[in-house]
Amino acid sequence: MDTQATPLHASRTNALGAPSSLNAALPFLALLVVGIAFPLFGGGYWGVIATRACIYWVLASGLNLVVGFGGQIAIGWVALLTLGAYTTSVLVAGNVGPPLPPYLALAIAAVVGAVFGLIVGLPALRLRTFYFAITTLGFATIVTQVALAWQSVTGGGVGVAGPVFPHPFASQWGFYYFCFGLAAICTWMTLNVAASRFGRALTAIRDAEVAAEASGISKPGLLATVFLFSGAVAAVAGGLFASLQSYITPDAFTLDLSILFFIAILIGGRGSILGPLLGTILLTVLPEFAAPLVAWSTFLYAVLLLVIVSRSPAELPRSSISRTAARSRATARSFRGPTCSSRCLARPPASAP
Amino acid sequence: MVESIVSTGLAIGCIYALIAITYNVMFSASRVFSFTAGTLGMLGGVLGSLFIARMGLPVAVGFLLTLAGGAAIGIVTEIVAVRPVLKSLDQHLYVLSTLALALMIQQYTAIEWSTEPQPFPRLFDIERGGFDQQFWLPMLACAVTIVGLELLYRRTLIGHAFLAIAEDNFAARALGLPERRLRMASFALAGVIGALAGFAGGQMLLAFFANAPMLTFYGFVPVALGGMGNNRGAVVAGLLLGLFQQAANFLVGGIFASVAVFTVFIIVLLARPEGIAGASLPRRV
């Protein structure tokens, strides 16, 4: 793991080339070291929590591109976690066709997740804000209903056993390293995406859609790719989640989880990878320190969301047009608007991933 | 069979239509869609069950208290989640603020009330017939609401003021209408309608906290199909949705029903984002 993941981060610092990029990579390297060394000082239960944090980040890293960079309010993303969890478990259990090996099932879940990520995301091309938010919410509602109703496959309310990944990943720490490795890869991939013209194009779409499209960014293609990626990693996270839980029922996938991911990204700050990463770890670990708060955690997250919205709207997706910018938006659209995105895009495509 | 599909479908459709009207009343007052619409419907059931079944109050008192609770939540929505973000409406922060409030209410209900569906009391002590009170109560509530709203908007001064605010906010304020108080009144009215929906449909949906996201979604489908702010379109679309869902439920099973509703919703939104009956708005570029 050590030899595999460290060069990933090193290659990023090389790719960017700028002297400041080493400083930017330091927090990630520190997290990498802590993550690898974690079994040395973590107890058994903390191992479960650390594994959970890794799994959540696998999903949140993809969602971060949608919410933090693309500015789409996707609140029902837990549906893709559900979908991935059920696809993996059902294929491994052999409820549909012959039982498949867990890795193959996980790969199939990723494909299914990508397709459904695209289907849920497609409306974002025409619909904005509330409409898109409620579409994802509706999808989450329906996935749960289908999981409950399709008893022959999903086991209905009784549920289905999660997959067990074979040796070397069967033990607790083996599985932890498996999830940690995937989380590291997701971090590396999203860092590369964010640093490329791809990420800048996403930000341009979020900040000034018309100007971005006028500068030659294809919004449908861009968003479709992001939704495919985000759906795939969310479904992979679902497969891992099912394995960690060892048994899944529709109750395990409430909207609360969705809100956890969403708020982790919001408190981390838009357009950042490190922030949402720390946010995800924080929100996963925090309830463990205050046991009485566990029941109230979603309530507190909602309060937090309300406070963020009313106090510091600059942190939010779609709020990127600051107040001053909003005032001069008419001018910006006609004169200065496209300059940012065209400057961003004017860089040679060599830095693309 | 057909009878049961029609009566269940129309009753559920009436509940959806009422939630859609809740969305519309809030929308016309503030240009904001609020996630609390479905939460209000859920609260109607929970409060009704709390006041009548658990506290043993008379039905009429419990009913009025439930409506008052809905109105209070409506006003809280306006103060906490809508007013702070109205200034920057084009940033669409209301999506997150109303979502946060809806989640807070839902979570509080889950913890303090119950995470299991609780029974809703039978309101009238009459014989259980083929066409039971659980079916005609939502229809009655829906009819009363539609007639009441029409009378309010057409016959009364405050109704005209509501319409003026909805049609042209700036012109209405220039005429000296108290915009903020009218908006609060609108949200209180929306709260009453939402709570009424939940109360009337309580015997079908039970007093269950998870009704909130379900009603939030299925109540918005008629809004999207009927055109935002269009109550008549919302009622027709709500009834059709209820009938379609129940028919599909009985004939081909629940999986297909859910998926079909979602597919229709997405296709209509993609093809006509302004709704089937809505007028298309020019996009500002």
Tell me which residue in B93, B258, B265 faces A146 most closely, judged by beta carbons: B258
**Is B22 part of any domain?**
yes
Of the two residues B213 and A331, the one the predictor is more confident about is B213
Chain A residues 295-324 with CB within 8 Å of chain B: 295-296, 298-299, 301-303, 305-306, 308-310, 313, 316, 318-319, 321, 323
Tell me which residue in A123, A129, A142 faces B269 most closely, judged by beta carbons: A123
Q: Is pLDDT of A60 > 80?
A: yes
Q: Looking at the 3D structure of chain A, how many domains does it have?
A: 1
**Is A233 part of any domain?**
yes
Q: Which of A24-38, B124-138, B187-201, B271-285 has the highest mean pLDDT?
A: B187-201
**Is A29 part of any domain?**
no
Residues counted in chain B: 285
- DSSP codes joined into one string, A276-297: HHHHHHHHHHHHHH-GGGTTTH
Report which residue type is found at A226.
V
Q: How many inter-chain contacts (A to B, CB under 8 Å) are there?
A: 129
Collapse the DSSP code of B45 into the 3-class scheme (helix H, G, I; strand E, B; otherwise coil) and give the result.
helix
Measured between beta carbons, which residues in chain A are less than 8 angstroms from residue B254? 145, 149
**Is A28 part of any domain?**
no
Q: Does A294 touch chain B (CB under 8 A)?
A: no
Question: Mean pLDDT across the stretch B151-166?
Answer: 90
Share of chain A above pLDDT 70, in %: 81
List the one residue out of A333, A339, A335 whose CA is nearest residue A321: A333
Q: Does A289 touch chain B (CB under 8 A)?
A: no
Q: Looking at the 3D structure of chain B, how many domains does it have?
A: 1
What does the pLDDT look like over A273-324, one tens digit per residue? 999 999 999 888 887 777 777 778 888 888 888 888 877 555 454 433 333 3
Chain A residues 246-275 with CB within 8 Å of chain B: 255-256, 259
Q: Is pLDDT of B83 > 90?
A: no
Q: Is pLDDT of B36 > 70?
A: yes
Any alpha helices (H) in B114-178, and if so which ranges? 133-155, 157-167, 169-174
Q: Write out the residue range of the structural domain in which residue A177 sits.
A: 40-288+296-351
Q: What are the beta bridge partners of residue A160?
A: A248
Question: Mean pLDDT across the stretch B97-124?
Answer: 89
Q: Write out the residue range of the structural domain in which residue B251 sits.
A: 2-118+132-271
- At residue A5, the pLDDT reads 40
- At residue A320, the pLDDT reads 36
Q: What is the CATH number of the domain that holds B265?
A: 1.10.3470
**Is A9 part of any domain?**
no
What does the pLDDT look like over A141-154, one tens digit per residue? 888 888 888 888 88
Closest-CA residue in chain A for B100?
A302
Distance from the A237 Cα atom to the nearest Cα atom in chain B, whole angstroms:
24
Own/partner contacts of A176-181, CB < 8 Å, gap of 24 or more, are A176/A38, A176/A39, A176/A47, A176/A50, A176/A51, A176/A54, A177/A1, A178/A240, A179/A51, A179/A54, A179/A55, A179/A58, A179/A240, A179/A244, A180/A1, A180/A35, A180/A36, A180/A38, A180/A50, A180/A51, A180/A54, A181/A1, A181/A4, A181/A5
- Please indicate whether, in this complex, the C-beta atoms of B262 and A139 are within 8 angstroms of each other: yes
Q: How far apart are CA A183 and CA A175, in angstroms?
A: 12
Q: Is pLDDT of A50 > 80?
A: yes
**Is B279 part of any domain?**
no
**Is B219 part of any domain?**
yes
**Is B240 part of any domain?**
yes
Q: Is pLDDT of B264 > 90?
A: no
Q: What is the CATH number of the domain that holds A195?
A: 1.10.3470
- At residue A324, the pLDDT reads 36
- Please indicate whether, in this complex, the C-beta atoms of A138 and B262 are within 8 angstroms of each other: yes
- At residue A255, the pLDDT reads 80
**Is A260 part of any domain?**
yes
List the one residue out of B126, B121, B134 whose CA is nearest residue B53: B121
- At residue B142, the pLDDT reads 93
What does the pLDDT look like over A227-247, one tens digit per residue? 999 999 999 999 999 999 888
**Is A12 part of any domain?**
no
| Interface confidence (ipTM) of the complex | 0.84
- As a whole number of angstroms, the longest Cα–Cα distance in chain A is 62
Q: What is the pTM of this model?
A: 0.83
Q: Is pLDDT of B187 > 90?
A: yes
Of A37-46, B16-25, B100-109, B276-285, the poorest mean pLDDT is in B276-285
Q: Which two tokens stand for residue B251?
A: 């004939």
What mean pLDDT, rounded, does chain A reach? 79
**Is B182 part of any domain?**
yes
Q: Is pLDDT of A160 > 80?
A: yes
Question: Mean pLDDT across the stretch B67-91?
Answer: 88
Q: Is pLDDT of A267 > 50?
A: yes
**Is A15 part of any domain?**
no
